[in-house]
Chain A
């Protein structure tokens, strides 16, 4: 068998394993919940699992595959969440409800967040490394800040907008306020479900895998690995980085739609749309392995579950979480640790196989 064929097969098997993992996990959960054996906590976590997996996978496209450090991913999620929730909430006010609205909402979220990504990406992607990180962080904070300041209402004369307060909207008696500044949007219809989440996750994964294995994807990776060499053979850095960034933003928007329609209330707090969230997503990506789609999904699920599993420790919960984070980073990334594993591997052949599995997941090398 020639080299390329072997490589293609390997890739196909990897891709298949991702789908298999998702589908089998879905089947198990569905079977258990059909039997009523699933705990309320886990049941409530199913949609967040999908939301965070989509976020992690899409950020991986920027950080792992395109090699740009973005700390503002939650900002795009915020854009998708708010625009789609305005739509469905207004439709609910008009008395229109139905699952087809959710599909429209997803499209709205994806388009607006993607557009925001494009708008930000054009000037910003010229920057490199830590500067890009700080600008995306700043952008995320700006979005959160603005989301907290907007008042938006509708009446028979159309939309009213203000940055001051509800009274300044000047709505008529039949009017209805959708976004109430810091109070956000309340009463969003509950459209998100685990099935919808899994379908969206599969779509997102498919798009990314196809992109990665296409000519465009190879160009993106070439730019990541050696910018100057890639540019010298005529690959436009701005164009391809922008493609990756815009697609990732739009996917974050989809995750935002899923998030917004899972809870009845949507407010832009530092916790859910601030830099804290962006960093949490980054942690999923780094722990799951840069460029590793499957790793991102597993890390997102495990790390979403971890603080919930630690609930028994009550006061010490977040302390333990932070220690776990530090220890895991040292164990997986420290050069000394890697050497040590190398030694162990040579001593015990059985570890060799295990290591291939575990360390690959956490290794910094991409595909």
Chain B
């Protein structure tokens, strides 16, 4: 029974990683850049929800939606100011700019909201689910997180496959210059990708802070890195890959914490990542690129 508890908690944590990883993987697939600031957009989203919900007393659902809209704008603005001028530049230059943006967001949050930990009120109010006569308790946050993660994944896949914008994204990720020739607005498509990624980040932030209700300016940093790892395990650029990678990472982390060593759980997770990449360098669902002369 303990095993099931660890497993379900792992799934719940993994779902959050998965939602964050979706943002990473889409941006990587389309703009070919590692957006290290993604975890910090998540943190900003949580703070905005916190302000709307706890300080202004707005309904939780509306607060989350408002925060998601704010995050969308923030994501697009970041892309416009910091990343767009560097399109076509060395990928390392973009990586470092993203790190600069990440520091910037953390420090601006520190200045505005202070360093003190804020206690985040869960947006989920339904009671936990008790199974097997109370032996297995699944928290309501876990249920909502896992459900929402699946919904988001399905919606995103439909969006990519069924809409014109989605097809444009696929085309840009396949070949940027060819899609320009085909009349696709590449800049608009990339901006759209950032908008979607940041929108999802706000949700991930709220779910993260509902399940683990504290909020500081560095809340997004470590989940951001782990979600990135999840995206790589699943195969970066692939949406179902991000989902699977997130779940694997979450479960693995919780099980190694439970059965091997809590202190070394991160080391174990990262070792698995290394082994995994050595066996299948493109990730579980990633496409392997054949080097052409």
A: residues with CB less than 8 A from B are 63, 69, 123-124, 126-128, 130-131, 133-135, 137-139, 141-142, 145-146, 148-149, 163, 227-229, 275, 279, 282-283, 286-287, 290, 315-316, 318-319, 321-323, 325-326, 329-330, 332-337, 364
Q: How many angstroms from the CA of A279 to the CA of B282 in the assembled complex?
A: 23
User: How many cross-chain pairs have Cβ atoms below 8 Å apart between A and B?
Assistant: 132
A287 partner residues in chain B, CB cutoff 8 A: 96
B: residues with CB less than 8 A from A are 28, 34, 82, 85-90, 92-93, 95-97, 99-101, 103-104, 107-108, 110-111, 225, 228-229, 232, 236, 261, 263-264, 266-267, 270-271, 273-274, 277-278, 281-282, 291, 293
A135 x B93 contact (CB < 8 A): no
B271 partner residues in chain A, CB cutoff 8 A: 138, 142
A128 partner residues in chain B, CB cutoff 8 A: 281
- Which of A146, A290, A330, A337 is the one whose CB lies under 8 Å from B82? A330
Q: How many angstroms from the CA of A133 to the CA of B231 in the assembled complex?
A: 14
B274 partner residues in chain A, CB cutoff 8 A: 123-124, 135, 138-139
A337 partner residues in chain B, CB cutoff 8 A: 85
A321 x B291 contact (CB < 8 A): no
B277 partner residues in chain A, CB cutoff 8 A: 127, 131, 134-135
A329 partner residues in chain B, CB cutoff 8 A: 86, 93, 96-97, 100
B263 x A321 contact (CB < 8 A): no
Q: How many angstroms from the CA of A211 to the CA of B97 in the assembled complex?
A: 31
> Contacts A127-B281, A134-B229, A330-B86: A321 and B270 contacting too (C-beta < 8 A)?
no
Shortest CB distance A324–B (Å): 8
A146 x B264 contact (CB < 8 A): yes
Shortest CB distance A334–B (Å): 4
B228 partner residues in chain A, CB cutoff 8 A: 134
Shortest CB distance B185–A (Å): 19
A148 x B263 contact (CB < 8 A): yes
> Contacts A145-B266, A322-B103, A333-B86: A126 and B278 contacting too (C-beta < 8 A)?
yes
Shortest CB distance A339–B (Å): 11
B92 x A149 contact (CB < 8 A): no
Q: How many angstroms from the CA of A364 to the CA of B107 in the assembled complex?
A: 29
- Which of A141, A283, A321 is the one whose CB lies under 8 Å from B267? A141
Q: How many angstroms from the CA of A329 to the CA of B101 in the assembled complex?
A: 11
B270 x A141 contact (CB < 8 A): yes
A141 partner residues in chain B, CB cutoff 8 A: 266-267, 270
Q: How many angstroms from the CA of A137 to the CA of B107 in the assembled complex?
A: 23
Known A-B contacts: A228-B293, A364-B89, A364-B93. Give 7 more (CB < 8 A). A126-B281, A141-B266, A283-B99, A319-B104, A329-B96, A333-B89, A333-B90
A286 x B264 contact (CB < 8 A): no
- Which of B28, B88, B97, B291 is the one whose CB lies under 8 Å from A326? B97
A138 x B229 contact (CB < 8 A): yes
- Can you give 30 contacting A-B residue pairs, CB < 8 Å? A123-B274, A127-B277, A127-B278, A127-B281, A128-B281, A130-B28, A131-B277, A138-B271, A138-B274, A142-B270, A145-B267, A146-B264, A149-B263, A163-B261, A229-B293, A279-B96, A283-B96, A318-B103, A322-B103, A325-B97, A325-B99, A326-B82, A330-B86, A330-B97, A333-B89, A333-B90, A335-B86, A335-B87, A336-B85, A364-B89
Shortest CB distance A315–B (Å): 6
A227 x B266 contact (CB < 8 A): no
B103 x A145 contact (CB < 8 A): no
> Contacts A283-B96, A329-B86: A227 and B291 contacting too (C-beta < 8 A)?
yes
The 9 A-B pairs of least Cβ separation, nearest first, read: A333-B93, A322-B103, A325-B100, A138-B270, A322-B104, A145-B267, A326-B100, A334-B85, A319-B107
Shortest CB distance A180–B (Å): 14
B107 partner residues in chain A, CB cutoff 8 A: 318-319, 322
A322 x B100 contact (CB < 8 A): yes
> Contacts A148-B263, A325-B100: A334 and B86 contacting too (C-beta < 8 A)?
yes
> Contacts A131-B277, A138-B273, A142-B270: A228 and B82 contacting too (C-beta < 8 A)?
no
B108 partner residues in chain A, CB cutoff 8 A: 319
Closest to B222 in A: A270
B110 partner residues in chain A, CB cutoff 8 A: 318
A335 x B89 contact (CB < 8 A): yes
Q: How many angstroms from the CA of A145 to the CA of B253 in the assembled complex?
A: 14
